[in-house]
Structure 1
Amino acid sequence: MKIFNYRLIIFMLSIIFGVAFSIPSFLQTDSGKKISLGLDLQGGLHMLLGVKTEEAVTSKVKSVATSIKYFAEDEEILIDELSIKDGSVQFTVLDKDELPKVDTMLENIKGLKVTKENLNYNVTLTEAEKVTTKDLAVAQAVETIRNRLDQFGLAEPTVIRQGETDIVVELPGIKTAEDEKAARELISKPANLELMAVDEERADQVYALTTYQAAQYGDIILEDSRNPKIKYLVKEIPILNGSQVIDAKVAFDQSHQPIINFTLNSSGSRIFGDFTGKNVGKRLAIVLDGKVYSAPNIRERIGGGSGQISGGFSTIEAGNVAIALRSGALPASVELLEKRSVGPSLGADSINASMMALISGFAAVFIFMIVYYRNAGVIANVALVSNIFIIISIMAMFGATLTLPGMAGIVLTVGMAVDANVIISERIRELLRSGMSIPKAVEDGYSNAMSAILDANITTLLAAVILYAYGTGPVKGFAVTISIGILASMLTAILGTHGIYEALMPKIAKDKNLRKWFGIK
Structure 2
Amino acid sequence: MIFIPLWQRLLVALVTAGAILLALPNLFYSRVEQANDARASIETGLSTTELEAQAGQWPSWLPSGLINLGLDLRGGAHLLAEVQVADVYASRMDSLWPTIRDALAAERDTVGFVTREEGPPAELHIRISNPDRAARALEIVRGLAQPVATVTGGGASDIEVRAQNDILIVNLSEAERTATDDRTVRQALEIVRRRIDEVGTREPTILRQGADRILVQVPGVGSAQEVKDIIGTTAQLTFNPVVQRTTNENADPGPGNILVPSLDEPGAFYILDRAAVVTGEELTDSQPTFDQNGRPAVSFRFNAQGALAFGEYTSAHIGEPFAIVLDNEVISAPVIQSAIPGGNGIITGQFTPEESTNLAILLRAGALPAELTFLEERTIGPELGEDSINAGKTAAYAAAVLVVLFMIASYGIFGVIAVVALAINIVMIFALLSLLGATLTLPGIAGIVLTMGQAVDANVLIYERMREELRRGASPVKAVQEGFGKAFSAILDANVTTFIIAAIMFFVGTGTIRGFAVTLAIGVVTTMITGVYVSRVLISLWFARTRPKTITV
User: With structure 2 as the length reference, what TM-score do the two structures score?
Assistant: 0.78
Matching residue within 42, 63, 85 for 2:119: 85
Aligned partner of residue 329 in structure 1, secondary structure: coil
Per the TM alignment, residue 316 of structure 1 is displaced from its structure 2 partner at its CA by 1.0
* Equivalence for 1:51: 83
Whole-angstrom distance in 1 between the partners of 2:344 and 2:471:
79
* Equivalence for 1:7: 8
- Residues 145, 159 of structure 2: 8 Å contact kept: no
Letter in 2 for 1:186: I
- 1:179-258 counterparts in 2 under 5 A? 181-199=225-243, 203=244, 206-207=246-247, 210=250, 213-214=252-253, 216-258=254-296
Whole-angstrom distance in 2 between the partners of 1:511 and 1:353:
43
Per the TM alignment, residue 284 of structure 1 is displaced from its structure 2 partner at its CA by 3.0
Per the TM alignment, residue 317 of structure 1 is displaced from its structure 2 partner at its CA by 1.0
- Residues 198, 233 of structure 1: 8 Å contact kept: yes
Q: 1:277 to 1:463 in 2, by over 3 A?
A: farther
Residues 420-467 of structure 1: per-residue CA shift (max 9 Å, x gap): 333344444445555555555545544544444444434433443444
Compute the RMSD of aligned alpha carbons.
3.7
Q: 1:297 to 1:355 in 2, by over 3 A?
A: same
Matching residue within 110, 122, 145 for 1:106: 145
Aligned partner of residue 86 in structure 2, secondary structure: helix
Aligned partner of residue 296 in structure 1, secondary structure: coil
Q: RCO higher in 1 or 2 (8 Å CA, sep ≥ 6)?
A: 1
Per the TM alignment, residue 285 of structure 1 is displaced from its structure 2 partner at its CA by 1.9
Whole-angstrom distance in 1 between the partners of 2:492 and 2:362:
46
- Residues 76, 379 of structure 2: 8 Å contact kept: yes
Structure 1 range deviating more: 55-64 or 309-318: 55-64
- Residues 155, 401 of structure 1: 8 Å contact kept: no
Matching residue within 428, 435, 454 for 1:416: 454
Aligned partner of residue 514 in structure 1, secondary structure: coil
Residues 66-121 of structure 1: per-residue CA shift (max 9 Å, x gap): 6656x859x97878325673112344799999998865542256552332559975
Structure 1 range deviating more: 94-103 or 410-419: 94-103
- 1:118-157 counterparts in 2 under 5 A? 121-157=168-204
Per the TM alignment, residue 190 of structure 1 is displaced from its structure 2 partner at its CA by 1.0
Whole-angstrom distance in 2 between the partners of 1:340 and 1:282:
48
Residues 264-321 of structure 1: per-residue CA shift (max 9 Å, x gap): 3444344444544554554432211111122334455544444332222211111111
Residues 235-285 of structure 1: per-residue CA shift (max 9 Å, x gap): 112233333333222122222222222233444344444544554554432
Whole-angstrom distance in 1 between the partners of 2:324 and 2:71:
39
Aligned partner of residue 308 in structure 1, secondary structure: strand
> For structure 2, which runs of at least 5 residues remain unmatched after alignment?
33-57, 59-63, 150-156
Counterpart check, 1:158 vs 2:182: no
- 1:429-448 counterparts in 2 under 5 A? 429-431=467-469, 433-434=471-472, 438-439=476-477, 442-443=480-481, 445-448=483-486
* Equivalence for 1:492: 530
Whole-angstrom distance in 2 between the partners of 1:270 and 1:263:
12
* Equivalence for 2:328: 290
Letter in 2 for 1:334: L
Matching residue within 51, 60, 65 for 2:92: 60
Aligned partner of residue 31 in structure 2, secondary structure: coil
Per the TM alignment, residue 384 of structure 1 is displaced from its structure 2 partner at its CA by 1.0
Per the TM alignment, residue 379 of structure 1 is displaced from its structure 2 partner at its CA by 2.2
Q: 1:482 to 1:102 in 2, by over 3 A?
A: same
Q: 1:275 to 1:491 in 2, by over 3 A?
A: farther
Residues 208-248 of structure 1: per-residue CA shift (max 9 Å, x gap): 5845x32x420001122211322221111223333333322
Q: 1:116 to 1:27 in 2, by over 3 A?
A: closer
Per the TM alignment, residue 381 of structure 1 is displaced from its structure 2 partner at its CA by 1.7
Per the TM alignment, residue 382 of structure 1 is displaced from its structure 2 partner at its CA by 1.5
Identity across the alignment (%): 36
Letter in 1 for 2:221: I
Residues 45-81 of structure 1: per-residue CA shift (max 9 Å, x gap): 3334343332233333334446656x859x9787832
* Equivalence for 1:513: 550
Letter in 1 for 2:232: S
* Equivalence for 2:443: 405
- 1:364-375 counterparts in 2 under 5 A? 364-375=402-413
- Residues 47, 338 of structure 1: 8 Å contact kept: yes
User: With structure 1 as the length reference, what TM-score do the two structures score?
Assistant: 0.82
Whole-angstrom distance in 1 between the partners of 2:400 and 2:462:
20
